[in-house]
Amino acid sequence: MAWKKITRNNVHIHSPLAWPLFDINGQLVYRRGTRPAAEHDFAQKLAEGLYQNDEMSDEELERILLGGVSALSHVQQFSARLQKTLLSFYQGNKNEFNFIPSNLANLAKDIMKLNENNIDAILGAVHLDKSGDYFYRHAVDCAIICDIVAKRLDYDKNRRRELCCANLTANVGMLPIAKTIEQQTTPLTLEQRAEIHKHPTRSVELLKYAGIESTTWLKAVEQHHERANGDGYPAALRGNDIIEEARLIALADTYHALINARAYRDKFFPMDALKELLTKGSTDIDQEISKHFIKEIGIPPPGSIVKLACNEIGVVTSRANKLGNYAVMSLIQRDGKPYSVPLARDTGNETYAIRGIYHPKLPIRINFLDVFGAVA
Ligand SMILES: [Fe+2]
């Protein structure tokens, strides 16, 4: 096999790696698709020695890459796993019911593991991919977003796991009526409003019945629709009477609902949704947490469509680096024609500086593999 030592000239640090890179012992260091600019220790690893093997077959690569499953595939699979588990609250046999706590704990563990790498690609998937059943994708996407912020807030692993589990199960009490409400274009009836107001308590009852005893998990679910100004439900709690985990879930829940279309309204573009959250900051949303939230998911977040100074249109593929620059993959040329292959742009170069958020009239087709590399 032809091992080749990589030098700085072999790598475009803002583009996804075309090949995985290994250390001198053949241990995988960076997966294919990793963006070197997003790795804080890339320069050091490069100095220690990084090697590629371009004769390695795709099969060998897949095996080495721990199954080679991308961030996007992971998110989609998590959603399918959650669907199976939440349905067993209502229709599972006794055996499946007994596995609810461990299935949820394993799912939370896998979400946390995914969030150890590729956060830009994961956020790209959250913002751009709308596949799967919304009810479950919403729960998984909110769990991912909350966990990213929880890491910033230095939650320990146990606290992060409980937060993930609370996100995954907060709305289980609403599952029987969720589809109807999701597709409804008329105002909610009084009965529906009453049902909605009961769902946090109903979720807690179901979780307790399934054997969940964690106080924080249950409290976060019970309080996830409480609001800082006392306008929430079911107990109209205020401010710090609402635990931080519940305030975090409330924020992710509101943001994620905004960036997804409803039967009665279009979706918000990510930056517009963030603005909406900021303007609500003084009333029902926790302002302090909003600041961490916005900083951690990015302004604009990966997956945002932007216009560059040179009039190209591209998609943001990283959060800002220390210099405040973003990686963007340019999709549309200045004359309006699409690039056949997206081109990596660094917004630190003033030709490619972000000039504004682009609101396409028609959806732009984005190939995740081209844009985020194999990790997406
Ligand atoms: Fe809810």
pLDDT tens sequence across 51-63 = 787 666 555 555 4
Pair of tokens at residue 48 = 């220690």
Sheet harboring 3-5: ordered strands across?
A: 3-5, 51-53, 21-22, 28-30
- Confidence band, pLDDT 50/70/90 cuts, at residue 69: low
Nearest to 213 by CA among 289, 140, 162: 162
pLDDT of residue 146: 97
How far, in Å, from the CA of 301 to the mean position of ligand 1? 24
Cα–Cα distance, 77 to 79 (Å, whole number): 5
**Model confidence band, residue 218 (pLDDT cutoffs 50, 70, 90):** very high
Is the predicted pLDDT of residue 249 greater than 70, yes or no?
Answer: yes
Whether the ω angle into residue 360 lies within 30 degrees of 0, i.e. cis, is no
What is the reported pLDDT for 350? 95
- Do residues 21 and 30 touch, judged by C-beta distance below 8 A? yes
166 closest CA partner among 232, 75, 244: 244
Where are the domains positioned within the chain?
Answer: 3-64, 71-297, 305-372
**Spatial distance between the Cα atoms of 352 and 326, rounded to a whole number of angstroms:** 10
**pLDDT more than 90, % of the chain:** 50
Q: What is the pLDDT of residue 93?
A: 72
Helices and strands (DSSP H and E) totals, the chain: 15, 9
Question: Would you identify the CATH topology of the domain 71-297?
Answer: Hypothetical protein af1432 (1.10.3210)
**Which of 342, 365, 319, 338 is CA-nearest to residue 121?**
319
Q: Encoding tokens for residue 285? A: 């949303």
Encode pLDDT of 94-106 as tens digits: 777 888 999 999 9
Residues 28-36 have a mean pLDDT of 82
pTM of the model: 0.79
Q: Tell me, in angstroms, the distance from the centre of ligand 1 to residue 198's CA.
A: 10
The CA 313 to ligand 1 mean position distance, Å, reads: 36
- Write down the pLDDT at residue 73: 79
C-alpha R_g of the chain: 22
CA of 199 to the centre of ligand 1 (A): 7
CA 202, chain centre distance (Å): 27
- What local confidence, expressed as pLDDT, does residue 9 receive? 84
Q: Region 285-293: what's the mean pLDDT?
A: 82
**pLDDT value, residue 25:** 52
- In 3D, which of 280, 278, 217, 289 has the Cα closest to residue 248? 289
- Among 304, 299, 298, which residue's Cα sits nearest to residue 316? 304
Which residues have C-beta under 5 Å from ligand 1, the single-atom ion?
171
Place of tokens 């790598």: 11
Select from 285, 33, 259 the least CA-distant residue to 130. Answer: 259
Which helix or strand (DSSP H or E) is residue 356 part of?
strand 354-357
pLDDT of amino acid 375:
54
Ranking 4-18, 61-75, 104-118, 208-222 by mean pLDDT, the lowest is: 61-75
* Distance (Å) from CA 221 to ligand 1 centroid: 8
- Give the containing element (helix H, strand E) for 355: strand 354-357
Is 290's pLDDT higher than 80?
yes
What pLDDT score does 62 carry? 52
Q: Which residue has the higher pLDDT, 284 or 342?
A: 342
CA atoms within 13 A on the CB side of 100: 24
- Span 317-329, average pLDDT: 92
Cα angle 204-209-213, degrees, rounded to a multiple of 5: 65
Residue 286: pLDDT over 50 = yes
Whole-number pLDDT of residue 54 = 67
Find the 119 Cα to ligand 1 centroid distance in Å: 25
